[in-house]
Amino acid sequence: MIVLLSGAFLGAKNGAYSQFLYLLLGILGLPVFAQVPDAPLGFARIIGPTGGYLLAFPAASFLVGYLIEKKKNYYFVVFSMLLAEILILSIGVMHLAAFYTKNMLEAVKVGAAVFSVWMIVKVFISASVYYGFSFLRKNNS
């Protein structure tokens, strides 16, 4: 959700920068990545099975920010965030297929299908948070 909200609230460039900073901190070994049993720390996480998803964060944040800068109605915000989630899953699945499963169908099964319901929930919660704060900010101005 933070990837989506960083682009929405910070804009395209700053949202992407925030995600590059997140990746840099994780690569340097700070415990910022999600805690997964037996997962390596630091740079090894980027080349591990979840590396593709992590590397997609700056692009996804940029995409959300760029699209929302163009149009801010609720449905377009949902659409923008859904596209960003699809981008993250696509890059993550391609990374899995290229380096781990060697099979695109298997990579989709283990790397995208299991997250699809959560992805939809996350998009609607993120869009509602963004739109709610935007509405409050507009009414308090």
> pLDDT value at position 20?
98
pLDDT in tens, 33-62: 887 767 777 888 898 888 999 999 999 999
Using the predicted structure, report yes or no on whether residue 5 has a pLDDT greater than 90: yes
Q: How confident is the model at residue 130 (pLDDT cuts 50, 70, 90)?
A: very high
Cα distance between residue 40 and residue 107, in whole Å: 20
| Long-range contacts (CB closer than 8 Å, 24 or more residues apart) made by 40-47 | 47/99
- Please say if the pLDDT value at position 137 is more than 90: no
Provide the pLDDT for residue 97. Answer: 96
Q: Model-level pTM?
A: 0.92
Of 115 and 96, more confident: 96
- Domain 2-140, CATH number (from 2.40.110.10, 3.30.43.10, 1.10.1760.20, 3.40.50.880): 1.10.1760.20
Contact at 8 Å (CB) between 81 and 121? no
Q: What pLDDT sits at residue 135?
A: 77
Coil/strand/helix, residue 30: coil
CA distance 1 to 24: 19
Mean pLDDT taken over the chain: 92
